[in-house]
Amino acid sequence: MSAEPISARIYPAGILTVLSRMEVERLHDASRGELGELLRRCALGVLNSGNDGDDAEALLQRHQNFKIEVQQVNRGIRLELSNAPGSAFVDGIMVQGIRELLSAVIRDLVYFDTEISGSASTDLDSQEGITTAVFEILRNAQVLDPTREPDVVVFWGGHSIERLEYNYTKKVGYETGLRKLNICTGCGPGAMKGPMKGATIAHAKQRISDGCYVGISEPGIIAAESPNPIVNQLVIMPDIEKRLEAFVRLGHGFVVFPGGVGTAEEILYLLGVLLNPANDELTFPFVLTGPAESAAYFEQIDAFIGLTLGEEAQAKYTIIINDADRVAQTMSSGLAQVKAYRRKHKDAYYFNWLLQIQPEFQQPFDPSHENMASLHLHRDQPKHLLAANLRRAFSGIVAGNVKPETIKSVRQDGPFEINGEKDIMQALDNLLASFIEQRRMKLPGTTYSPCYRVVSK
Whole-number pLDDT of residue 58: 72
DSSP assignments along 126-167, one per residue: SHHHHHHHHHHHHHHTT---TTS-S-EEEEE--SS--HHHHH
Q: What is the C-alpha to C-alpha distance for residues 307 and 316, in angstroms, rounded to an integer?
A: 15
| Mean local confidence (pLDDT), 2-25 | 77
Out of 44-48, 156-160, 215-219, the most confident range is 215-219
Whole-number pLDDT of residue 446: 67
Q: What is the C-alpha to C-alpha distance for residues 224 and 184, in angstroms, rounded to an integer?
A: 19
Whole-number pLDDT of residue 357: 96
Q: Calculate the alpha carbon distances from 7 to 4, 69, 151 in Å.
A: 10, 12, 40
Of the listed ranges 42-56, 204-218, 287-301, 365-379, the one predicted with least confidence: 42-56
Q: What is the C-alpha to C-alpha distance for residues 80 and 11, in angstroms, rounded to an integer?
A: 9
Cβ contacts of 297 within 8 Å, gap of 6 or more: 258, 290, 434, 438
| Mean local confidence (pLDDT), 174-203 | 96
The H-or-E segment that residue 377 falls in is none
Whole-number pLDDT of residue 367: 92
| Mean local confidence (pLDDT), 375-397 | 94
Domains within the chain, CATH numbers bracketed: 6-122 (3.30.1850.10), 135-344 (3.40.50.450), 359-456 (no CATH)
User: 366 vs 14, which has greater pLDDT?
Assistant: 366
| Mean local confidence (pLDDT), 29-34 | 70
Categorise residue 415: left if φ over 0, alpha if ψ from -120 to 50, beta otherwise.
beta
> Where do the H-state alpha helices sit in 213-288?
240-250, 261-274
Q: What is the C-alpha to C-alpha distance for residues 268 and 436, in angstroms, rounded to an integer?
A: 19
Q: What is the C-alpha to C-alpha distance for residues 82 and 72, in angstroms, rounded to an integer?
A: 17
pLDDT tens digit sequence for 212-265: 999 999 988 887 788 998 999 999 999 999 999 999 999 999 999 999 899 999
Q: What is the C-alpha to C-alpha distance for residues 319 and 260, in angstroms, rounded to an integer?
A: 17
Whole-number pLDDT of residue 54: 61
User: What is the bridge-based pairing of β-strands 286-290 and 253-256?
Assistant: parallel
Categorise residue 246: left if φ over 0, alpha if ψ from -120 to 50, beta otherwise.
alpha
Q: Return the percentage of the chain with pLDDT > 90, whole number.
A: 62
Q: What is the C-alpha to C-alpha distance for residues 110 and 137, in angstroms, rounded to an integer?
A: 11
The answer on pLDDT for 2 being more than 60 is no
| End-to-end Cα separation, the chain, in angstroms | 55
Q: What's the predicted TM-score (pTM) here?
A: 0.92
